[in-house]
C-alpha cells in the first residue's frame, strides 16, 4: 500500500469546475487524477475533512462524489476508525477503462488534437522562458523513473507538469490538466517495456531542446511524442472494442 496521497502541483490549480453539479465536478476531478496516474491502484485519498477543505466544498458534496466513484468501480470505501476511500485495484480500473473508452471512442481523436495543440505550445514556451531553477525541476522530474518503487504514469505526469510550469502560462497549464483528465490510458499500455524505452527517449529529446533553448526543436519533439501517444491510445481503444 502506498503512502497517503498529496496532490502536488495539481492542488495549486483551481479545480476545473463547470456548470455541472458540485458533486459531479468533484467526481470528475478525482477521476481525472486516476486517469493521469496521479492516483494509482491502492492509493488512499486524504481524509474527507481534508479533501473537502482543499476543494472548497462541503463534506456532504464530497460524500456524494465519492459514492458515485465507488458505484462506478473507481474507488472502494471502508468504514471505521481506519476507514476511508482508496483507489480500486488494477483489474477494477481496467474494467472502468473499458467502459469509459467504449463511451468516448468517437471523441478520442478530438481530445488528442486538443492535447497536442496545448502541449506543443507549452514545450515551445518552456524552451523560451524557463529559468535555470525550472530546468533543474524538469530534469529532476525526468529522473523519477529511476527511483525505487517509481510509477511510469506518475513519472510521465511529473515531467509534463514541470514543463508546463516552466512555460509561465497558467491558462495553458490548467488546460493541460483538464484535457489530461479526459484521456484514460490503461496502465499496462505504459508498462510495456518498449513503451517505457520510447517514453524515456521522447522526454529526453524534449528536455535537450528545452535545455538548449531551441523552441522549434522542443515543439517538434513534443509533437512527435504526442503523435506516438495518440497511436497507443487508438490501439487501446480498438482492443477494448474487441473485448
Residue-wise pLDDT tens digits, 195-220: 788 888 999 999 999 999 999 999 99
Residue, of 4 and 101, whose pLDDT is higher: 101
Please report which residue ranges of 37-107 form alpha helices under DSSP H.
Answer: 48-55, 59-72, 90-104
Helix (H, G, I), strand (E, B) or coil at 1: coil
For residue 84, give the H/E element and its range: strand 84-87
Residue located via cell numbers 521522447: 202
pTM of the full predicted structure? 0.78
For residue 136, how many other CB atoms are within 10 A of its CB? Answer: 12
Residue, of 19 and 2, whose pLDDT is higher: 19
Q: At what angle do helices 108-129 and 215-241 cross, to 10 degrees?
A: 160
pLDDT at 9 over 90: no
pLDDT one-digit tens code per residue, 219-229: 999 999 999 88
Q: Which of 96-105, 112-121, 173-182 is predicted least confidently?
A: 96-105
pLDDT at 56 over 50: yes
Query: What domains can you pick out in the chain, each with its CATH number?
Result: 8-88 (1.10.10.10), 100-241 (1.20.120.530)
Amino acid at each position: 500500500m502506498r503512502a497517503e496521497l498529496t496532490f502536488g502541483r495539481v492542488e495549486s490549480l483551481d479545480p476545473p469546475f463547470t456548470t455541472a453539479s458540485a458533486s459531479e465536478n468533484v467526481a470528475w476531478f478525482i477521476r481525472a487524477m486516476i486517469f493521469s496516474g496521479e492516483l494509482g491502484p491502492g492509493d488512499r485519498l486524504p481524509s474527507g475533512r481534508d479533501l473537502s477543505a482543499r476543494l472548497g466544498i462541503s463534506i456532504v458534496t464530497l460524500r456524494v462524489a465519492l459514492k458515485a466513484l465507488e458505484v462506478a468501480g473507481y474507488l472502494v470505501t471502508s468504514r471505521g476508525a481506519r476507514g476511508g476511500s482508496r483507489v480500486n485495484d488494477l483489474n477494477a480500473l481496467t474494467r472502468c477503462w473499458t467502459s469509459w473508452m467504449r463511451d468516448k471512442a468517437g471523441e478520442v481523436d478530438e481530445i488528442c488534437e486538443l492535447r497536442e495543440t496545448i502541449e506543443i505550445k507549452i514545450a515551445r514556451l518552456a524552451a523560451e522562458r524557463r529559468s535555470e531553477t525550472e530546468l533543474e525541476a524538469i530534469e529532476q522530474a525526468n529522473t523519477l523513473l529511476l527511483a525505487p518503487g517509481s510509477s511510469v504514469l506518475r513519472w510521465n505526469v511529473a515531467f509534463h507538469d514541470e514543463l508546463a510550469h516552466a512555460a509561465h502560462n497558467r491558462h495553458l497549464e490548467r488546460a493541460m490538466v483538464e484535457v489530461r483528465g479526459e484521456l484514460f490510458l490503461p496502465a499496462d499500455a505504459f508498462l510495456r517495456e518498449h513503451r517505457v524505452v520510447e517514453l524515456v527517449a521522447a522526454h529526453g529529446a524534449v528536455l535537450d531542446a528545452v535545455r538548449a533553448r531551441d523552441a522549434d526543436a522542443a515543439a517538434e519533439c513534443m509533437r512527435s511524442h504526442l503523435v506516438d501517444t495518440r497511436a497507443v491510445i487508438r490501439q487501446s481503444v480498438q482492443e477494448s472494442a474487441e473485448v
